Amino acid sequence: MPKKVASPYRKVSLGAPGICLINVPALKGFKVELYFGQIGGLGFYSPRNEMEAQNFILSLIKSALSHHVRMQTHALQDLRDALINRIHELGTEFKVENKIDINYKCDKEKCLLQWAENNGAKTRLQIAYVEGAGRGAIAMEDMEVGDIAMEIPASITISEDLVYKSDMYQVLEKIDGMSSETMSLLWSMKERHNCNSQFKMYFDTLPENFNTGLTLAVMNIVDDIQIVARLSFGVEAIMALDGTLLFEEIMQAKEHLRVQYDELFPELSKDHPDIFPPELYTWEQFLWACELWYSNSMKIMFADGNLKTCLIPVAGFLNHSLHPHIVHYGKIDSTTNSLKFRLSRPCSVGEQCCLSYGNFSGSHLITFYGFLPQGDNPYDVIPLDFEVDQVDTMVECPLSNWTTHMVRGTWLSENQNIFYYGLPSPLLDCLRSARIQMPFTKTLIKANMEVDKEILEDLQSTFNAMMENLSDMDSVDRESSSWDMKLASQFKEMQRRIVSSILTSCSTGIKLVEHELSKCKAEE
Ligand SMILES: C[S@@+](CC[C@H](N)C(=O)[O-])C[C@H]1O[C@@H](n2cnc3c(N)ncnc32)[C@H](O)[C@@H]1O
């Protein structure tokens, strides 16, 4: 049964079954894919998935070609060429223009790059300032599918291994439930102030403020002076987000981090002031480190098979895209003991080269990374939680059964016809089966039309209520407003677009059903 928490959205009853729009934070990408995968959409699920599938076939062709099956060589080469063409076409179809700010000199970043190269790193990318995304990595030459854009030796990655060598390990290892991620985070809080650190160049390139949704945590918890001192996700933006999934996700993350901090501090600083100096282990600094690790770390599989969360100097400049150039980068190449960033699609000289951080929704990206990506994100869904009342026939007692469904922008669905309406079939089937005992046959009979009409009207009233909650940020001037207001307004606009498409599909669906109903009545 889903956790019942005070809902950001009004709890709305849809008759049978009861529907409640709840806060399901960060619905996992694969769950979203499974849910909508069975429905079918506009040819493929997302440009990233399509490209991954094509790259997978390319790797099979490469391996088949290396086995010299003569008869098939030509066919395989043709297939490979066709796939590469399709990958190029996909790149053109989903091209995103990035403006580079040539006035930003990137001196510190160049020093870091030089240090990394001196330590064995290789790169075909340079660092520049990309409008709207901070620093990013730009191709210095044309690169093709399969080319390595960047190679970082394992020896310059920052992971838990550094904690084991430090004096704090003897204290941390005795703490119950201490994770390697928390150890690395605590290590980085101190190391960033160490003038003799091996990673000084890296820490010097990090911003004072990350401006993720987590920055909000400062606001609710500490006093007003600190709020002003740190550019926080401000009161105005938070007020604007009240009642949205993003608000709920930020609040949950904030509470989680505060509990974690309170479990460790100030005790650790009191007991070991030399190892955890209190001035370096404030709540503010803890949050800074959380933002660093959430927004910049990567999970890497090392040659010994261990999976570690790492900060990767230089590779940390790669920004995220919904149509990334690099998708698979999580494994150290055991022959070179380095991390290779291989291209899954071509990248032209001057173009920004992007990674995929994962299949995340907009609310997750704002909370932990502080941005919304350009383009349609198929992982932006609105979760719907249903409580379906059933009766336990053994003891004649009512049972409560929760099930989660989700809705996304209906422009992503190809079937807008009667019985489908651009809405997810699992959702419609669930609502139908709660209203009629028999299996729903999708035939144009009066009883079916009446059921569908009722369902569409209920959905319409639910999403109308949600729209009211989302419709008050029209006055925000994107150009002049602060970063947090811009993000809040972008988020609400994205949600409004999804809800509006659902409302349009509902009203078009109602008209379709009414038309069929009138035909049924005429025949009677
Ligand atoms: C791993 S860092 C990438 C380098 C970063 N731009 C910088 O200047 O340090 C991740 C951060 O970059 C920014 N970012 C990444 N992808 C972005 C995108 N597509 N649009 C806007 N900002 C993005 C966000 O601030 C995110 O927290």
Ligand 1 neighbours by CB, cut-off 6 Å: 132-136, 295-296, 316-317, 319-321, 369-371, 373
Atom of ligand 1 nearest to the CA of 373: 19
Report whether pLDDT(128) > 70.
Answer: yes
What is the atom index within ligand 1 of the atom nearest the CA of 211? 25
Lowest mean pLDDT among 33-37, 309-313, 326-330, 406-410: 33-37
Pick left, alpha or beta for residue 422 (phi over 0 → left; psi -120 to 50 → alpha; otherwise beta). left
Cβ atoms of 169 and 272 closer than 8 Å: no
> Of 307-311, 385-389, 487-491, which range is least confident?
385-389
Range 317-331 average pLDDT:
94
Closest ligand 1 atom to the C-alpha of 129? 8
- Ligand 1 centre distance from Cα of residue 268 (Å): 33
| Residue 117: pLDDT over 70 | yes
Q: Residues 94-115: pLDDT tens digits?
A: 888 889 988 888 999 999 999 9
138, 352 contact by CB (below 8 A) = yes
∠ CA 309-310-315, nearest 5°, is 135
Give residue 369 CA to ligand 1 midpoint distance, Å: 7
Give the nearest ligand 1 atom to 369 CA: 27
CA–centroid distance, 214 to ligand 1, in Å, is 15
Q: What's the pLDDT tens digit per position in 487-504? A: 888 999 999 999 999 999
Compute, in angstroms, the gap from residue 319 CA to the centroid of ligand 1: 5
pLDDT value at residue 41: 52
- Confidence band (pLDDT; 50, 70, 90) for 389? low
Cβ within 8 Å of residue 311, ≥6 positions away: 157, 158, 159, 188, 202, 292, 293, 296, 297, 298
Tokens standing for 320?
């995220």
- pLDDT of residue 371 exceeding 70, the answer is yes
Structure tokens at 417: 């016809």
pLDDT of residue 439: 83
Mean pLDDT of 56-81: 81
**Higher-confidence residue: 210 or 231?**
210
Q: Choose the residue to mutate in 205, 319, 321, 322 for probing ligand 1, maximizing ligand atoms within 8 Å of C-beta.
A: 319
Q: State phi, psi for 386 to the nearest 5 degrees.
A: -110, 140
pLDDT value, residue 231: 40
CA distance linking residue 449 with residue 96, whole number of Å: 43
> DSSP string spanning 33-73?
HHHHHTT--SSSS-HHHHHHHHHHHHHHHHHHHHTT-HHHH
- Give the contacts of 74 (CB within 8 A, at least 6 positions apart): none
Say yes or no to pLDDT of 478 above 60: yes
User: Distance between CA atoms of 488 and 385, rounded to whole angstroms?
Assistant: 24
Which atom of ligand 1 is nearest to 206's Cα?
9
Say yes or no to pLDDT of 372 above 70.
Answer: yes
pLDDT score recorded for residue 254: 86
Q: Are residues 404 and 32 in contact, defined by beta-carbon separation less than 8 angstroms?
A: no
Nearest CA to ligand 1 atom 15: 319
Indicate the pLDDT class of residue 40, thresholds 50, 70 and 90.
low
Tell which one of 309, 369, 372 to mutate to probe ligand 1, the residue whose CB is within 8 A of the most ligand atoms: 369
Q: What average pLDDT does range 468-488 have in this prediction?
A: 75
Report the range of poorest mean pLDDT among 3-12, 77-86, 195-204, 284-293. 3-12
Share of the chain above pLDDT 90, in %: 57
| Closest atom of ligand 1 to CA, residue 374 | 19
What's the CA-to-centroid distance between 298 and ligand 1, angstroms? Answer: 14
Look at ligand 1, atom 21, and give the residue with the nearest C-alpha: 133
pLDDT the model gives residue 222: 41
Give the atom of ligand 1 at the shortest distance from the alpha carbon of 296.
1
Pocket test for ligand 1, best of 96, 320, 376, 487 (most atoms within 8 A of CB): 320
Residue 15 is predicted with a pLDDT of 34
Q: How far apart are CA 14 and CA 450, in angstroms?
A: 15
Say whether pLDDT at 480 is over 90: no
pLDDT in the model for residue 258: 93
Supply the pLDDT for residue 98: 85
Considering 38-52, 127-141, 212-226, 377-391, the range whose residues carry the highest mean pLDDT is 127-141
Say how far residue 140 (Cα) sits from the centre of its chain: 28
pLDDT category of residue 299 using cuts at 50, 70 and 90: very high
Question: Where does the pLDDT of residue 473 fall: very low under 50, low under 70, confident under 90, or very high at 90 and above?
Answer: low
- ipTM strictly over 0.85? yes
Residue with the smallest CA separation from ligand 1 atom 7 is 135
Distance 368 CA to ligand 1 centre (A): 11
**C-beta separation of 211 from 205 below 8 A:** no
Mean pLDDT of 192-201: 97
User: What is the Å distance from ligand 1's center to 4 Cα?
Assistant: 33
Report which listed range, 27-31, 202-206, 237-241, 250-254, is most confident: 202-206
Q: What is the mean pLDDT of residues 366-388?
A: 89
Query: To test ligand 1's pocket by mutation, which of 131, 231, 371, 483 has the most ligand atoms within 8 angstroms of CB?
Result: 371
Counting from 1 in the atom list of ligand 1, the atom nearest the Cα of 320 is 16
- Give residue 330 CA to ligand 1 midpoint distance, Å: 18
Q: With 70 as the cut, is the pLDDT of residue 42 above it?
A: no
State the pLDDT confidence band at 453, using cuts at 50, 70 and 90.
very high
Does 155 score more than 90 pLDDT? Answer: yes
- CB 341, CB 312: distance < 8 Å: no
Place of tokens 């809040």: 488
Task: Compute the average pLDDT of residues 38-66.
Answer: 78
pLDDT at 203: 98
Mean pLDDT is lowest, of 310-319, 364-373, 379-388, for: 379-388
At residue 346, does pLDDT exceed 60?
yes
* C-alpha span between 73 and 70 (Å, rounded): 5
The chain-wide mean pLDDT, for the chain, equals: 85
